[in-house]
Structure 1
Amino acid sequence: MAVFRFMTSPALFALLLSILLHAGAFLAAKPKSDPIYGIEVVKEYPHDPEAFTQGLLYTANSTLYESTGLYGNSSVRRVALETGKVELIHRMPDAYFGEGMTLFDDRLLQVTWKTTTGFIYKKKTLNKIGRFTHQMLDGWGLATDGKIIFGSDGSSTLYHIDPHTFKVIAKHVVKYKGVEVPNLNELEYINGEVWANVWQTDCIARISSKDGSMLGWIYLPSLRKELLAAGNT
């Protein structure tokens, strides 16, 4: 479940290579031989501090689409990047906890926590136009390369999902040096890779979209330190 630690900040959050994540500690050591990368925050934008962000994607015209969680407060939103203004919102039934979301064609696809139920929305209006049942154990993250859907359920498994039938067509257990990487969370598809933030850590895993092999890490303790220094909890 993609919970961002800086959701209660004074209306600012970092837009970081189209990915947002929360903090913790995953790598006890950083072997010099492994591809481990740092980050640079190049700009910050205002954002609703009450939004329990779960899925986030950027489209043209400085527009964000966002899925928020919490029972009784879950929603799908269209947000102006530069101002943080919520331009359009669809509030979900109280029984659902919104999770990861992606855009396939002109449809927003969203999964929900602790269920195998997902919802389909029109991009333009955010009207709900359908629902689907997926075969993951839970609904955490979604991303797409425009052909298939990539999904996560909080385990170490990366799923390939047919975007029309929502059936699993392949799945890969993600491992780092032979050890499974658990808690794969919100997903992004970037240049042939799936990037997954690892829940409650300072890490983004860079994963091959073809076979689930590990390609490297993005390590973000500096981001957490900056947020804490700014008074965020």
Structure 2
Amino acid sequence: MRRVLLGLVGAVTAAAAACAAAAPAPEAVAEVPAVRPVVLGSVPHDTSAFSEGLELSPDDPTLVYESTGLAGRSQLREIDAGTGAVRRAVPLPGDDFGEGLTVVGPTIWQLTWQDGVALEWDRATLTLRRQVPIRGEGWGLCSEGNRLVRSDGTDRLRFHDPATFAETGSVAVTLDGRPVTRINELECVGGAVWANVWQTDRLVRIDPATGVVTAVVDASGLLTAAQRPGTDVLNGIAHLTGNEFLLTGKFWPASFRVQLP
């Protein structure tokens, strides 16, 4: 009986070894290295602004649009790109909590966090045209031209029609094969989507076709120790020109003009 059992054990061991030898090795995942931005300069930023979205005007390089948050304090703002001064500001309806925004021709689309609507503004007059229902939370928003890209705090980017804001699809975001959650403020640039990762000093560059992160930026250390008290997290990406961007954060005293890879 002992010889039979030993024979069975040997057979099972050999079969397992054969299966292991036949099984393909897991595919290696190349890690995406983190790089650091090159700081070119800075401009003042309103320390009362709980920044949620930032975007350069497509036809006026001296003008930046900013969305600020907090219930009862949220605004849509026009900011002077050179001085950081507020040119115009309008409040959001009621206690709506402002989030990301983007410009589409004569329209500004602005998200709300948990209020269940996207706001459509007339860009020339900053008057509210309508409120469109959305599913889930609103975090970041940017425009690829033929579609809008929205983040909702999960690991997904959601796509919307730029005229109706109807949702048209989504993609899961991964870094080195793992989900990336808490994707926040977005900026669409040259077929890629740049994103803040909430509660970190990281930016990621995402291929919206696959959801794969193709670059990681370590933006820690933009604020000095003297500037840091009273501030909140990094949150605000506006593409300026080429590989230059404007970065800021919630309650930050400055916005930084940087080069990203």
Is TM more than 0.5 here? yes
Q: Which runs of 5+ in 2 are unaligned?
A: 1-28, 230-261
Query: CA-to-partner distance for each residue in 1:65-95, whole Å, 9 max, x for gaps?
Result: 1111111111101111122221111112342
| Cα RMSD, aligned residues only | 1.7
Q: Is the 8 A contact 2:32 2:176 kept in 1?
A: no
For 1:34 and 1:61, the matched residues in 2 are separated by 32
Alignment match, 1:206: 205
Q: Is the 8 A contact 1:100 1:142 kept in 2?
A: yes
For 1:208 and 1:144, the matched residues in 2 are separated by 14
Shift in Å, 1:211: 2.2
The count of residues paired between Structure 1 and Structure 2 equals: 199
Alignment match, 1:187: 186
Instruction: In structure 2, give the amino acid aligned to 1:160.
Output: F
Shift in Å, 1:221: 2.2
Q: Is the 8 A contact 1:73 1:94 kept in 2?
A: no
Alignment match, 1:8: none
Alignment match, 1:217: 216
Moved more, 187-196 or 173-182: 173-182
For 1:49 and 1:222, the matched residues in 2 are separated by 18
What does 1:49-64 correspond to in 2, within 5 Å? 49-59=47-57, 60-64=60-64
Change over 3 Å in CA distance of 1:120–1:218 after alignment to 2 = same
Alignment match, 2:115: 115
Q: Is the 8 A contact 2:121 2:129 kept in 1?
A: yes
User: Kindly, what percent of the aligned residue pairs are identical?
Assistant: 35
Alignment match, 1:39: 37
Change over 3 Å in CA distance of 1:152–1:32 after alignment to 2 = closer
Q: Which runs of 5+ in 1 are unaligned?
A: 1-30
What does 1:26-175 correspond to in 2, within 5 Å? 34-59=32-57, 60-135=60-135, 137-175=136-174
Instruction: In structure 2, give the amino acid aligned to 1:216.
Output: A
Change over 3 Å in CA distance of 1:221–1:84 after alignment to 2 = closer
Query: CA-to-partner distance for each residue in 1:48-78, whole Å, 9 max, x for gaps?
Result: 1111111111121410111111111111011
Instruction: In structure 2, give the amino acid aligned to 1:67.
Output: S
User: After TM superposition, what 4+ stretches of structure 1 lie above 3 angstroms from structure 2?
Assistant: none
Q: Is the 8 A contact 2:171 2:210 kept in 1?
A: yes
Change over 3 Å in CA distance of 1:109–1:51 after alignment to 2 = same
Alignment match, 1:12: none
